[in-house]
């Protein structure tokens, strides 16, 4: 089946630094990818919708200047957490659907990235 690969799976960074998370669709193309955030013992919350070749769409309350999204190709979207602070520590998950081969029903998720800001 289709696979979405997310990297890194785990990262620890110092407060004030930036961290980039990559999300790749390995065997299908995706014009749209989604970025979620999940705090401990809570559900996934959509942060933003990544659109290939255009600006991302951010959910209310998500700072676009802090969470930079780049969707430069049909198989890669990146999320950069800029000037990270401890409150940004969370589990970040990307998702994509195979929109071109008729398998659009199922959403595929990356393995997630555990970000810890110290």
Residue 82 binds to another protein (criterion: CB under 8 A): no
**Are 77 and 70 contacting, i.e. CB atoms less than 8 angstroms apart?**
yes
| Minimum CB–partner distance for residue 26 and another protein (Å) | 14
Residue 67 binds to another protein (criterion: CB under 8 A): no
| Minimum CB–partner distance for residue 3 and another protein (Å) | 11
Q: Compute the distance between CA of residue 57 and CA of residue 100 in angstroms, rounded to an integer.
A: 22
Residue 70 binds to another protein (criterion: CB under 8 A): no
Residue 108 binds to another protein (criterion: CB under 8 A): yes
Q: Compute the distance between CA of residue 91 and CA of residue 48 in angstroms, rounded to an integer.
A: 15
CA geometry: angle 20, 54, 47, nearest 5 deg:
50
Cis geometry, peptide bond prior to residue 8 (ω within 30 degrees of 0) = yes
Binding positions for another protein, rule: CB under 8 A: 4, 6, 31-32, 34, 36, 43-46, 49, 51, 57, 91, 93-95, 97, 99, 104-112, 114
């Amino acid at each position: 089946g289709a696979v979405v690969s997310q990297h890194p799976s785990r990262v620890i960074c110092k407060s004030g630094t930036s961290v980039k998370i990559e999300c790749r669709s390995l065997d299908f193309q995706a014009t749209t990818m989604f970025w979620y955030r999940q705090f401990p013992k809570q559900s996934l919350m959509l942060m933003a919708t990544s659109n290939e070749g255009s600006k991302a769409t951010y959910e209310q309350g998500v700072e676009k200047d802090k969470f930079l999204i780049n969707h430069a190709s049909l198989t890669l979207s990146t999320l950069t957490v800029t000037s990270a602070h401890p409150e940004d520590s969370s589990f970040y998950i990307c998702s994509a659907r195979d929109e071109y081969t008729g398998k659009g029903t199922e959403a595929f998720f990356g393995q997630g990235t555990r970000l810890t800001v110290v």
